Structure 1
């Protein structure tokens, strides 16, 4: 069963407009650049030696963000689920509960759903900016509940270096 859950909000995307369908909005060049700066910090917080799975909303900007994470971690498959794009908590929690192998699940999604999901998990409504992420240790799978391990906004990720990342995991284990 999944032990650790990481929720990630996609990078900066094209503005909403009448000419672009929301499902097809892509990351901007600046959004790609900024998320690439975040990646080393995010990757440093993912435990080593465990199975890592990557799930994404099917919306283009989330899929692009998931691809960057996948490339950084060497994960070949990104699974896309409509319930992530729609923010369907019941479908999401059922799918997580159905996972039989231990490990870490990284989910790339959208606002306000990520904040709502963090509130359902822990009681804490976290303000996910674009490029933010939160790590949780799951306590129960039915209902899906967990403890917040860490929550970082993009600026904090960019400041996270290898030395501070080495300090954080032992602190989180206690």
Structure 2
């Protein structure tokens, strides 16, 4: 079962447009650079233990901007498989919680969207956090994954763009 869950909001994305479906919106060049820069993911993921950095599973929403953000996470942690799930784009919290219950990884990093990351954090910990683009929260999970049974280990606000 997952012991440490890290919820990440995707980086700064291109604005919504009628010409581009939401799922195909990409990160801005500045957003991607901020995630890769010294105040971005290198600083955030330095908070993980060496075991967590080496063994963490990495999931992302199917949205392009979330997958690109997950690529930036992998660039810091070392290459690994990024698994995408439609329910993360659909923001289905219950399906997500059930999937986490069935996952064997000790450490799981999940790149998603707001309000999903806000709501999952509040459900699991009772804490309200405000995720800017590129923000990440590490949660120590209670085995039940019930409401308000887990705790926030750390929270790093997203880098300035």
**Residue in 2 that maps onto 1:11:** 11
Richer in helix (by share)? 1
- Alignment of 1:90 with 2:84, yes or no, is no
**Residue in 2 that maps onto 1:168:** none
**Residue in 2 that maps onto 1:107:** 110
**Residue in 1 that maps onto 2:128:** 125
Distance, in Å, in 1 between the alignment partners of 2:95 and 2:146 is 12
Which portions of structure 1, spanning 4 or more consecutive aligned residues, are displaced by more than 4 angstroms?
A: none
Write out per-residue CA displacement over residues 107-139 of structure 1, whole angstroms, 9 at most, x where no aligned residue. 000011110111111111211100111010001
Q: Decide whether the 8 Å contact of 1:54 with 1:107 is kept in 2.
A: yes
**Residue in 2 that maps onto 1:172:** none
**Residue in 2 that maps onto 1:49:** 51
- Alignment of 1:25 with 2:25, yes or no, is yes
Structure 2 unaligned regions, length at least 5: none
**Over aligned residue pairs, what C-alpha RMSD do you find?**
1.5
Query: Quick check: which has more Rg, 1 or 2?
Result: 1
Calculate the TM-score normalised by the size of structure 1: 0.84
Q: CA deviation at 1:155?
A: 4.4
- Equivalent pairs, count: 155
Q: Decide whether the 8 Å contact of 1:93 with 1:141 is kept in 2.
A: no
Structure 1, 72-81 or 129-138: larger mean CA deviation: 72-81
In structure 2, relative to structure 1, the CA distance for the partners of 1:17 and 1:153 (3 Å cut) is same
Structure 1 unaligned regions, length at least 5: 157-174
